[in-house]
Structures are given as C-alpha cells and as structure tokens.
Amino acid sequence: MKKDIILCGVGGQGILSIATIIGEAATKAGVNLKQAEVHGMSQRGGDVQSNLRLSTETIYSDLIPQGGCDLIISMEPMEALRYLPYLSKNGVVVTSNKPFVNIPNYPDQEALFAELNSLPNVVQLDIEEVAKDAGNARGANVVLLGMAAKYLDILSPEQLREAIATIFARKGEAVVEANLKCFDKGVEG
C-alpha cells in the first residue's frame, strides 16, 4: 500500500508543518516515508512544494513520478493546479479556495475555478475562515490536513490527531486543543 502526496502553496503558508505532522504519524505507525522539501530562494513569497511519499514497502525515489500522485494538498487554488501533470487519474485534490494574489499576472479567477472544478475529485474550503471560526487563525494548514485526512488511507484520522498532540505538545495544552479543533473542523469539511 502506498500514498504519494504533493503538498504545495506559497512560501510561508505552513506546508512544511503539515509534512511534519504526517511524518510524525507515519513514523509512529511504522509506515515508510520520504519527504523532499524545497529550501532557499523559493521560500520568499514564491511557490513551494514538498513531495511526501508514504508506503508499507521500501520507497526508493524521493520524487513522485508524473501521473503517480494520489493526493494534492494545497494551501492555494492556483498552486494546486501547478502539479496536475503529477496527479494520477483517480487522484484527489484537497485545496484552499482562497487565492493568494502576490503577482500582477494572477489568472482570471473565474476561469481558474472552472478548471479546478472540472477535475474529477476536488475538495475545497475557505480554510482561513474555518480556522478563524475555530478561534485559531494560524491553524489554516491544520484545517487543510483535516480535510485531507479521509483520503490518506494509510494513516487514520486518529493517528493524525495523536501526531498533532505530540508535535504541538511543547507549545502547551491550549495550542494542542486549538489545533485539534482546526483538524476536526477540516475533517467535518
């Protein structure tokens, strides 16, 4: 069993924290993992992505082949579209529906959402709004992880909840609770 995931967004949106939580859960569950990150120049307001591969078998390549990605988890709708050549035929896209416009030539939003909605399996949510409603404006990325949880298969939502508790433990009980709330809101969709 394997699950190949592309995490993406704009530098600073917190995609690496999502990777850290999944990594913690995978390690605890004894699932193999490889996660390729991008550091350096592209952090600064540019597009960022991370290839995250989970498998019960040995994982060789750090990168996902084209057409092999089971799940795109994106903090930004246009960034979700950037990795379409990697998405498998039955792959799922889980994305924020709120454009992050920091470039002058951002595409026409109506056309962008029409293209996004034309994909067979898309789940979208205004994750920032949901996070705010949950009283944790900084937890949008954890809401997104909650939305993706039911498509992860190889790890259960409960295993992800435990990982959130472990990762945020050193920041105190209140931070753990706030993030679990965001996660649960994401799971509810």
Partner 1 sequence: MKKQLLLGDEAIALGALHAGLSGVYAYPGTPSTEITEFIQSSPLGRERGVHSRWCANEKTAMEAALGMSYAGKRALVCMKHVGMNVCADAFVNSAITGVNGGLVVLAADDPSMHSSQNEQDSRFYGKFALIPVFEPSNQQEAYDMMAKAFDLSEELKEPVLFRVVTRLAHSRAAVETGEAREENAMNASTDQWVLLPGIARRKYAALLDKQPRMEEAAASSIYNKVEKNGGKLGIIACGIGYNYVKEAMGNDGNVLKISQYPLPEKEIRMFAAENDSILVVEDGQPVVEQDVKGMLGAGYPIKGRLTGDLPRTGELNPDNVAAALGRETGPAFEVAKNLAGRPPQLCQGCGHRDVYGALVKIIEEYPDARVFGDIGCYTLGALPPFKALASCVDMGASITMAKGAADAGLRPAIAVIGDSTFTHSGMTGLLDAINENTPITVIISDNLTTGMTGGQDSAGTNKYEAICLGLGMDPAHLHVVTPLPKNIPDIAQLIRDEIAYEGVSVIIPRRECIQTAARHAREAKKK
Non-local (6+) Cβ contacts of 113 within 8 A are: 77, 97
Over the window 60 to 99, marking each residue x when it contacts partner 1 by CB under 8 A and - when it does not, the resulting string is xxxxxxxxx---------xx-xx-xxxxxx-x--------
- For partner 1, the closer CB: 103 or 137: 103
Q: Is 188 exposed, middle or buried (0-12, 13-18, 19+ CB in 10 A)?
A: exposed
Over the window 94 to 133, marking each residue x when it contacts partner 1 by CB under 8 A and - when it does not, the resulting string is --------xx-xxxx--xx--x---x--------------
> What is residue 152's three-state secondary structure?
helix
In the complex, the smallest distance separating the C-beta of residue 60 from partner 1, rounded to whole angstroms, is 4
Contact 124, 77 (CB under 8 A): yes
In the complex, the smallest distance separating the C-beta of residue 188 from partner 1, rounded to whole angstroms, is 29
84, two tokens: 């379409």
Subset of 13-52 contacting partner 1 (CB under 8 A): 19, 23-24, 27, 32-47
Q: What angle in degrees, to the nearest 10, is found between the helix axes of 173-188 and 140-152? A: 50
Per residue in 152-184, is it b (16+ CB within 10 Å) or e — as a string? bebbebebbbbbbeebbeeeeeebbebbbbbbb
In the complex, the smallest distance separating the C-beta of residue 29 from partner 1, rounded to whole angstroms, is 12
Q: CA-to-CA distance for 187 and 189, rounded, in angstroms? A: 5
In the complex, the smallest distance separating the C-beta of residue 144 from partner 1, rounded to whole angstroms, is 19
Q: CA-to-CA distance for 46 and 56, rounded, in angstroms? A: 33
- For partner 1, the closer CB: 72 or 178: 72
In the complex, the smallest distance separating the C-beta of residue 119 from partner 1, rounded to whole angstroms, is 7
- For partner 1, the closer CB: 64 or 144: 64
Note whether 146 binds partner 1 by CB under 8 A: no
- For partner 1, the closer CB: 87 or 148: 87
Binding site for partner 1 (CB under 8 A): 10-11, 19, 23-24, 27, 32-47, 59-68, 78-79, 81-82, 84-89, 91, 102-103, 105-108, 111-112, 115, 119
